[in-house]
A and B are shown apart, each in its own frame.
Chain A
């Protein structure tokens, strides 16, 4: 049986320090659950899209990066940083370390 992915893992519910908790959700074992593969935004390739499942960054939440929203990765800068993504019709530039906090299901 595949281990439950920590998609419901919330800040403060683990033994990791807060910062690591927010940014390291991807360090938990990412396993396939059926056909769903969960990845972080920084791992998404340019031109691909994802359905957001979890966002560990308050600023991104305010800008419309919320669970259930579609996100399109449009461009990436030099060495993949920053990335330009479209959410709710608007385009944002996000640095890689902030992109790590956005977890979703590849579409």
Chain B
């Protein structure tokens, strides 16, 4: 095999499918979705073709060679400073008119061999867009390959075109016309669009999704549906996994007895490590594995930018950038990823506002705890359906949204005071997500992610809890000492020392908070099987939980310090310890104050 590795860089406007193409060629899994700004850093991968090795670089999208945002600057810096064997300009065949401008601008300045890749040809055909690829190639004096990266069509031809371009090292004749005129000419001569069908469906759907009367009810309905599906869907796998782990726990116990493992070690392994691990997998994993794919479907369909459009008035009044709606929505998946994606906000102060307030959005790891507590305390009655639980959850989410807006306003008037920058955002065409592929891939990805986190975080946390619970000092266990120190603070804000201890020990990962709390409540007793809703309810109520405690626990779960991964990401993005400190203490202070007032109200009304 030829040892030289050829480098190909993928560039183009945002949301043209560069990352999808990258994933299709390399087999990697860069984050994709139907909105501009997902890719915020350079990604590298490779593939082999005809005994040659190729290094592929996925660049963030940029609208022009005069970059404004950080990720655009990163892309342009790469194009100017790095050497590569071929530049692949990826164009969206649906939005060919606008994409051609960037391509022509790049053609007139780039000296490296260039190849144009027309992506989303399948979407273009459906919308009545016809492109004469041969003529386009002749007009622009570069090879043009037509592909549909999402379906995997045309990839072999693209690889062959890249190979030919590398071999020929074509960088000789380039168009010298004014790039704008060239783009216009190329569009008029090589492309034809049936405007009757081009965006008819999108405009009809946008009349509903962007209408002042229907947009908000539809968004709320979507949110309720997503949470209802999560609640209903998670029950069954949760129950199966619990039963399976309970049965396997018995087998494991007998096996450990059989090989002569002592009681202490056996208890440490079973009641500590195994209990925490299986709790996270059986109780926390199903809701996460269901919510994440649903969220991915919303991302892929093109609804997120519409959500940003509809909520822009709120963000504008809060002094926040309109794209903060996108990063806030991303926070539902993972706060750390959302913090990274805040790079799409150009202005530094507005970006910092988005970063600091992002942890006020409950992430995927916090939902299971919120769902469980709501299930136990607000709808334990079987007559209360999953729909009611979904509505209650949505109300809490709206509280988090309101807190995000108010906090953004506060930060824009204090720490991050400054003039607001402009806001322009593309509303991409709607795309039907590939349901099977998206859902299955997302479930698998999320399952693997949670399993790895469970092994890396939950298992050691379970061991730590067991050790603290079984190590005696001055007549009480270490965990009792710790929780009794935290108790006065906990009681002041409607919680208790155990819950606070669980949040502190849950710093590495939010999904282990409730398992830790239950394990502490159960410490000293063997947890032979994982508690279902009724048993969990009994455990919590026997340990002093009331409805007010439940509300405070849910609120504190939404508003407390971010997980360690998010804090590290914040430092990486801001290079500011002050910003990390603000991101840590601000949500904690907000959550504590809210819980204090909720508890106070509960005491006055007589519920607490």
Chain A hits for B425, CB < 8 A: 92-93
The segment out of B61-69, B287-295, B337-345, B384-392 that lies at the interface is B61-69
Could you tell me the distance in whole angstroms from the C-beta of A90 to the nearest C-beta in chain B? Answer: 5
Could you tell me the distance in whole angstroms from the C-beta of A14 to the nearest C-beta in chain B? Answer: 21
Q: State in angstroms the CA–CA spacing of A91 and B180 once bound together.
A: 19
Given A63-B63, A88-B98, A93-B427, CB of A74 within 8 Å of CB of B422: no
Contact B424 A60 (CB under 8 A): yes
Q: Mark contacts of A62-105 with chain B using CB atoms, 8 A cut-off: 1 yes-contact digit, 0 otherwise.
A: 11101000000011111101101011111111110110000000
Contact A82 B98 (CB under 8 A): no
In the complex, whether A58 has a CB less than 8 A from a CB of chain B is yes
Q: Mark contacts of B162-192 with chain A using CB atoms, 8 A cut-off: 1 yes-contact digit, 0 otherwise.
A: 0000000000000000001000000000000
Q: State in angstroms the CA–CA spacing of A95 and B97 once bound together.
A: 23
Chain A hits for B63, CB < 8 A: 62-63
Could you tell me the distance in whole angstroms from the C-beta of A60 to the nearest C-beta in chain B? Answer: 6
The secondary-structure label for the interface of chain B is mixed
Further pairs besides A84-B206, A89-B96: 20, Cβ < 8 Å? A59-B424, A63-B63, A63-B424, A77-B309, A77-B312, A82-B312, A82-B423, A84-B210, A84-B309, A88-B98, A89-B193, A90-B95, A92-B424, A92-B426, A92-B427, A93-B305, A93-B308, A93-B423, A93-B426, A95-B316
13 contacts between A and B (CB under 8 A): A58-B68, A64-B101, A74-B203, A79-B313, A81-B316, A88-B97, A88-B101, A91-B202, A92-B424, A93-B423, A95-B322, A95-B423, A95-B424
Chain A hits for B94, CB < 8 A: 89
Tally A-B pairs: CB < 8 A. 93
Given A82-B322, A93-B305, CB of A77 within 8 Å of CB of B424: no
Contact-residue bracket for chain A: 20 to 34
Chain A hits for B510, CB < 8 A: none
User: What count of chain B residues pass the 8 Å CB interface test?
Assistant: 35
The secondary-structure label for the interface of chain A is mixed
In the complex, whether B4 has a CB less than 8 A from a CB of chain A is no
Could you tell me the distance in whole angstroms from the C-beta of A92 to the nearest C-beta in chain B? Answer: 6
Q: State in angstroms the CA–CA spacing of A4 and B545 once bound together.
A: 76
Chain B hits for A58, CB < 8 A: 66, 68
Contact B98 A93 (CB under 8 A): no
Chain A hits for B193, CB < 8 A: 89
Q: State in angstroms the CA–CA spacing of A27 and B64 once bound together.
A: 30
Q: Which residue of A lies closest to B72 (CB)?
A: A62
Chain A hits for B322, CB < 8 A: 82, 93, 95
Contact A75 B210 (CB under 8 A): yes
Could you tell me the distance in whole angstroms from the C-beta of B182 to the nearest C-beta in chain A? Answer: 14
Question: Which 7 pairs between the two chains have the least Cβ-Cβ distance?
Answer: A62-B64, A91-B427, A88-B98, A75-B210, A89-B97, A78-B313, A98-B422
Chain A hits for B101, CB < 8 A: 64, 88
Q: Which residue of A lies closest to B68 (CB)?
A: A59
Q: State in angstroms the CA–CA spacing of A78 and B314 once bound together.
A: 9
Binding site for B on A (CB under 8 A): 57-60, 62-64, 66, 74-79, 81-82, 84, 86-95, 97-98
Contact B66 A62 (CB under 8 A): yes
In the complex, whether B212 has a CB less than 8 A from a CB of chain A is yes
Given A62-B64, A77-B313, CB of A91 within 8 Å of CB of B426: yes
Q: State in angstroms the CA–CA spacing of A62 and B305 once bound together.
A: 20
Q: State in angstroms the CA–CA spacing of A94 and B94 once bound together.
A: 21
Q: Which residue of A lies closest to B129 (CB)?
A: A89
Could you tell me the distance in whole angstroms from the C-beta of B439 to the nearest C-beta in chain A? Answer: 28
Could you tell me the distance in whole angstroms from the C-beta of B87 to the nearest C-beta in chain A? Answer: 19
Of the candidates A62, A74, A89, A92, which one forms a contact with B206 in the assembled complex, judged by CB atoms under 8 Å apart?
A: A74
Q: State in angstroms the CA–CA spacing of A62 and B61 once bound together.
A: 13
Instruction: Give residues 201-220 of B contacting A (CB, 8 Å).
Output: 202-203, 206-207, 210-212
Residue of A58, A62, A94 ringed by the most chain B CB atoms within 10 A: A62
Given A66-B180, A77-B309, CB of A98 within 8 Å of CB of B424: yes
Chain A hits for B206, CB < 8 A: 74-75, 84, 91
In the complex, whether B19 has a CB less than 8 A from a CB of chain A is no
Q: State in angstroms the CA–CA spacing of A89 and B198 once bound together.
A: 9
Chain B hits for A84, CB < 8 A: 206, 210, 309, 427
